[in-house]
Amino acid sequence: MPARILVIEDNPTNLDLMVYLLRAFGHTPLVAHDGEQGLEVVRREAPDLIVCDVHMPNVDGYEVVRRLKAHPAMNQIPVIAVTALAMVGDRDKILEAGFDGYIAKPIAPDTFVGQVEAFLPPDHRALPREIAARSPAEASSPPAHRATILVVDDSPVNRDLIRSTLEPFGYKVILAHTVQEGLELARSSPPDLILSDLHMPHEDGITFIKIVRTEPALNPIPFVFISASVFGDRDRRLALEEGATRFITRPIEPQALLQEIEKCLGSRGAGERGSGGADEWGSRGEEERGGSGAEEQRSREEEKE
C-alpha cells in the first residue's frame, strides 16, 4: 500500500515538485514549510517516511533529524536529506548527523520517487495507478508506445512534471522551451499531440497555435493548452477560438492530465476534418455541435421534401 510521506521544504517550487511526484505514484504527501512545523507534523501524523531539506531558516534539517532520532517514539522513521550540498565530505556529514539517506538537488523527476521508495518496505512502494492495475506480467514489461507528445513550456519544472507524468504510461515526450523551438521540432517530425503553455516570453501560446493552424502538415494535430492563467475564461475563449482542442488549468492531478490527453488523442479524427479543434468544450461542446448538426440535417431533409 502507498506510504504517508512528510516533505519538509522551505522552497515552494521544490516542495510542489516533490509533492506532485509522490502523489503521482499514489503516495499521500504531508507538507511542512520549515523545521519546526515539520516536527509538529511528525508528532501529530507519524508518517512512514520524512524527506527533509537541510538548509532552512531557524530550525534546519540537522536540528530536525537530531530531535527525531533522540525521541523514542519517532527515531525509527526514515529521514532522507534533500540538499544542493556538493562539497567533498558533505554526504558523510549528512549521514553522520542521523539522516538515513541523501538525495541531491536539483532532484531528477524520473528517479526521485524510486530513490525515496528505496527506504520503504516493499509493501509501501507504489506504482502509478494505471501500471498498478496491470497483471504482474504486464507490470514487469515497459508500457507499449501510445503516442508522441510535444511539450512547449518555458518553465523547466513544468516540463519535467509533464514528462514524469506521461512517460511511465507509454508516451514519448519531446520538450521545447520556446515557440520557435517547438515549431522546428513539430515541422521536422510532427507529433501526435501538442501540449503548450499559454503565457511565455517573446512569443506566447496564441502565436504558436496561429502558426500551427495555418500549416497543412500541422493543422490536424490536437493542440492542448495547459496554463495557470489568471485571466480564466477570457484566455480560454481566445484559445478555443484559435483552434485549441482543449484548455487545461493548472494545477491538475496527474491522473486527470492523463485522461485529458487520452480524450484528445481519441478525438483526432474530428481534428483531421479541419475543424481546428477536436473537442473544444469537452462533453458540452460535443452536445452543442451535435445539436447544430442535427438542425442542419433536418433543414436539408425539409428542403428535399
d(CA 181, CA 300): 47
Does pTM surpass 0.85? Answer: no
Query: Residue 165's pLDDT band (boundaries 50, 70, 90)?
Result: confident
**In the chain, % of residues over pLDDT 90:** 44
H/E segment holding residue 180: helix 179-188
Give per-residue pLDDT as tens, 254-301: 778 888 999 999 865 443 433 333 333 333 333 333 333 334 444 444
Task: For residue 121, say if its preceding peptide bond is cis, omega within 30 degrees of 0.
Answer: no
Packing angle between helix 12-24 and helix 156-166, nearest 10 degrees? 10
Of 18-32, 42-56, 137-151, the poorest mean pLDDT is in 137-151
Handedness of CA 11, 32, 154, 206 (dihedral sign): negative
**Grid coordinates standing for 63?**
536540528
d(CA 63, CA 242): 54
Q: In 3-state terms, what secondary structure has residue 57?
A: coil
d(CA 157, CA 179): 17
Query: Residue 109's pLDDT band (boundaries 50, 70, 90)?
Result: confident
Give per-residue pLDDT as tens, 200-248: 988 999 999 999 999 999 999 999 999 876 566 888 899 999 999 999 8
Q: Which pLDDT score is estimated for 142? A: 57
7, 29, 78, 99 from 51: Cα distances, Å: 5, 10, 9, 10
109, 219, 272 from 268: Cα distances, Å: 30, 11, 6
Query: Residue 85's pLDDT band (boundaries 50, 70, 90)?
Result: low
In degrees, rounded to 5, the angle at the alpha carbon of residue 19 between the alpha carbons of residues 14 and 24 is 130
Averaged confidence pLDDT in the chain: 80
**Better-predicted residue by pLDDT, 280 or 69:** 69
**What's the distance, Cα to Cα, between the start and end of the chain in Å?**
65
In degrees, rounded to 5, the angle at the alpha carbon of residue 278 between the alpha carbons of residues 273 and 283 is 135
Handedness of CA 169, 16, 52, 50 (dihedral sign): negative
Q: What DSSP character marks residue 100?
A: S
Query: Residue 111's pLDDT band (boundaries 50, 70, 90)?
Result: confident
User: Mean pLDDT across the stretch 54-62?
Assistant: 93
75, 77, 195 from 43: Cα distances, Å: 11, 11, 42
Of 92-101, 172-181, 263-272, the poorest mean pLDDT is in 263-272
